[in-house]
C-alpha cells in the first residue's frame, strides 16, 4: 500500500508515517515546512500545502489511500478564520484533490471535539451527533470546524468516496518536535514552570496507539472493508493533577501545589490569555481549554478495539516515554526522580 499523508510534519502525522513504514507500506508525505519529524525516514516528500491544489494532486497521484491528518488546533474563540481555512476549506481541498487524482479511499482525522458531549451520563460513542447539529451557545471555533470538516467527508462518501473517519481524544507521546499544546504542558511541568494547575481532566491517548489504529484503518479500507465507518480512539480519562503526579514521579520535580477550581480558572482565563498573546506565546489555559476539561469523561473505544485492535497502553507509560523523549533532546532538563533534583547540581 502507498499512503499519501497530509499533516505529515505534525505530531500525529509524523508518528503515522513511522508506523506505516514499520508495517511495510510506502509513504508519500505532504510537506510545507519544518520536516524534522520525517528526518531519517524513507518517505517520499512532496512540497506543498492544503491551499495549493496542484501540490495535493501531485501528492495523491497513484496512492492507494490518502490519510488526511493535517489540522489546526486552536484554543482561542477568536481564531475562526484560521481554523476554518485549514479544517474546513482544507478538507474540501483534499476531497477535491482525491477526485482529481483518482484516489477513492480516504482516512480522515476528525476529533472527539467534533461530537456532542452531552448527555454526560452516557459514554460518547460513534452514534453521537456532530457538535454543531443543535444550537450551542459559545461552541468553540475548533469544535465547529472539525464538525464541518467531518460533514464534508460524509457528503463525499455519499457520492462514491470510500472513507473512514477517526475521532481521537487528547493525544500525547514522543516525537513531539514542535511541541504540541499538551506537550508544552508536560514540558512546563517537567521544568517546574507551571505554578498551578486547574481542576478537571480529559481522556488522553498515546499518539503511537492512534497511529497504529489509523494504519489499521487504511489497511482495512484498501482491503475493501470498513468504508463508511467512524471510529473513536480513546485512551483513558485522567485529571490534570494525576498527570502532574506522573510527571513528578518521572522527574523528581514536585507537582504544582495549587489546583484552581474551574470557576476560578474561568475568571482568570481572559487575563492569562491576553498576557500570553501580548508576549507572543500560544496560551494554554483559555476559556476553550477549560471547557474541554469539564467535558464528558466517558468515551467508548469498543468499535475500534474490535475492528482496528485499538489497545491503548497505560497512560503512565505514555507520560514517562514522552518526558524521556523531551529530556533526550534537551527540551527539558534531565532529572533524578529519586532525589527531586536536577542532575549535575549539588
- 3-state SS, 213-244, equals HHHHHHHHHHCCCCCCCEEEECCEEEEHHHHH
pLDDT in tens, 284-323: 555 556 666 778 999 999 999 999 999 999 999 999 999 9
- 14 and 31 Cβ atoms separated by less than 8 Å: no
Round to whole Å and give the CA distance between 155 and 158.
5
Round to whole Å and give the CA distance between 22 and 25.
7
Residue 214 half-sphere exposure toward CB, CA atoms < 13 A:
35
| Domain 2-178+203-236+298-312 bears CATH identifier 3.40.50.2300 | no
pLDDT over threshold 70, residue 278: no
Q: Give, in order, the Cα–Cα distances in Å from 279 to each of 74, 145, 180, 274, 275.
A: 17, 27, 19, 9, 6
Q: What does the mean pLDDT of the chain come to?
A: 87
pTM exceeds 0.85 for this model: yes
Q: Give, in order, the Cα–Cα distances in Å from 176 to each of 6, 38, 39.
A: 17, 12, 13
Sign of the Cα pseudo-torsion (100, 101, 104, 110, in order): negative
Q: Mean pLDDT, to the nearest integer, of 69-74?
A: 88
C-alpha cell at 124: 460518547
Q: Residue 68's beta-bridge partner residues?
A: 6, 108
- 109 and 142 Cβ atoms separated by less than 8 Å: no
- DSSP for residue 134: S
Percent of the chain at pLDDT > 90 equals 68
- 136 and 175 Cβ atoms separated by less than 8 Å: no
pLDDT in tens, 203-245: 999 999 999 999 999 999 999 998 899 999 999 999 989 999 9
Q: Residue 105's beta-bridge partner residues?
A: 162
pLDDT over threshold 80, residue 173: yes
Sign of the Cα pseudo-torsion (12, 322, 35, 38, in order): negative
Round to whole Å and give the CA distance between 215 and 276.
37
pLDDT in tens, 90-146: 999 999 999 999 999 999 999 999 999 999 999 999 999 999 987 666 788 899 999
> Which is higher by pLDDT, 76 or 38?
38
Amino acid at each position: 500500500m502507498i499512503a499519501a499523508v497530509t499533516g505529515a510534519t505534525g505530531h500525529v502525522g509524523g508518528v503515522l508515517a513511522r508506523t506505516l513504514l514499520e508495517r511495510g507500506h510506502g509513504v508519500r508525505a505532504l510537506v510545507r515546512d519544518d520536516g524534522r519529524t520525517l528526518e531519517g525516514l524513507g518517505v517520499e516528500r512532496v512540497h506543498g500545502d492544503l491551499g495549493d491544489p496542484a501540490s495535493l494532486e501531485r501528492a495523491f497521484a497513484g496512492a492507494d489511500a490518502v490519510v488526511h491528518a493535517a489540522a489546526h488546533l486552536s484554543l482561542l474563540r477568536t481564531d475562526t478564520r484560521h481554523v476554518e481555512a485549514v479544517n474546513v476549506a482544507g478538507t474540501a481541498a483534499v476531497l477535491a484533490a482525491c477526485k482529481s487524482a483518482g484516489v477513492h479511499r480516504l482516512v480522515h482525522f476528525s476529533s472527539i471535539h467534533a461530537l456532542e458531549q452531552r448527555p454526560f451520563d452516557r459514554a460518547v460513542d460513534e452514534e453521537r451527533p456532530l457538535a454543531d447539529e443543535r444550537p450551542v451557545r459559545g461552541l468553540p471555533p475548533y469544535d465547529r470546524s472539525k464538525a464541518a470538516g467531518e460533514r464534508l467527508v460524509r457528503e463525499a462518501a455519499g457520492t462514491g468516496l470510500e472513507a473512514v473517519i477517526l475521532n481521537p481524544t487528547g493525544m500525547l507521546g514522543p516525537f513531539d518536535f514542535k511541541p504540541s499544546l499538551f506537550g508544552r504542558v508536560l514540558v512546563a511541568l517537567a521544568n517546574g514552570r507551571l505554578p498551578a494547575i486547574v481542576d478537571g481532566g480529559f481522556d488522553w491517548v498515546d499518539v503511537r496507539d492512534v497511529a497504529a489504529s489509523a494504519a489499521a484503518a487504511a489497511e482495512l479500507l484498501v482491503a475493501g472493508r470498513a468504508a463508511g465507518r467512524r471510529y473513536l480512539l480513546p485512551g483513558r480519562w485522567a485529571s490534570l493533577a494525576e498527570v502532574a503526579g506522573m510527571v513528578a514521579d518521572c522527574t523528581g520535580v514536585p507537582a504544582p501545589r495549587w489546583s484552581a477550581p474551574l470557576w476560578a480558572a474561568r475568571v482568570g482565563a481572559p487575563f492569562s490569555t491576553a498576557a500570553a498573546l501580548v508576549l507572543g506565546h500560544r496560551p494554554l489555559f483559555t476559556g476553550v481549554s477549560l471547557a474541554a476539561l469539564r467535558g464528558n469523561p466517558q468515551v467508548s473505544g469498543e468499535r475500534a478495539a474490535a475492528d482496528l485492535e485499538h489497545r491503548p497502553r497505560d497512560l503512565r507509560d505514555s507520560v514517562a516515554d514522552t518526558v524521556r523523549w523531551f529530556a533526550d533532546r534537551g527540551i527539558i532538563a534531565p532529572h533524578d526522580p529519586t532525589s527531586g533534583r536536577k542532575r549535575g547540581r549539588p
